[in-house]
Amino acid sequence: MRVRLAALAALVLAAGTTVAASAFASTASSKTFTVRMNGRAETPVGDRGGRGTATITIKSTGSVCWKFSIAKIDGKPTAAHIHRGKARKAGPVVVPFGTKYKAKGCTKASPALAKAIMSSPRSYYVNVHNAKHPAGAIRSQL
């Protein structure tokens, strides 16, 4: 009888732990997007030969981290952002990655914006700007 009670208690405890872990995971969910960027995707067209990759990790808490690897661009990068906008459409900056270009880092957005980007990533794009292409040198939809 004691063995059965101990087994039942262990099962209840394990189920409670699983439920608690699931609740925690759902409140701090995240998505990572790794995209290939190029100048032809930019609007208006950016650096036609420009290319690179961006890895963007967004957490539902509002944390946004990025890492760029630029293979070719016709000038020094000056800024990078996430914009709201569908493919072939220019849109407003919604998540600036600082005031000057950094190849990697983290910033904060509102949790509501983070969740909106995570639920509809194709409605947002990431791009890198330079002096020759102030509207954007390379870009990709998330």
The structural domains of the chain, with segments of one domain joined by +, span: 29-141
pLDDT of 66 strictly over 60: yes
pLDDT in tens, 96-139: 999 999 999 999 999 999 999 999 999 999 999 999 999 999 99
SS3 category, 86: coil
pLDDT of 22 strictly over 90: no
| Dihedral sign computed on CA atoms, order 135, 69, 40, 97 | negative
Give the closest residue to 58 by CA, choosing from 115, 124, 13. Answer: 115
pLDDT number for residue 72: 87
Distance, C-alpha 47 to centroid of its chain:
23
Q: C-alpha angle with apex 44: 39 to 49, nearest 5 degrees? A: 20
Architecture of domain 29-141: Sandwich (2.60)
Q: C-alpha angle with apex 28: 24 to 33, nearest 5 degrees? A: 140
pLDDT number for residue 28: 61
More confident residue, 25 or 69: 69
65 burial class (0-12, 13-18, 19+ CB within 10 angstroms)? middle
Calculate what percentage of the chain has a pLDDT beyond 90: 79
Hey, which residues does 104 pair with through a beta bridge?
Answer: 67
pTM across the whole model: 0.79
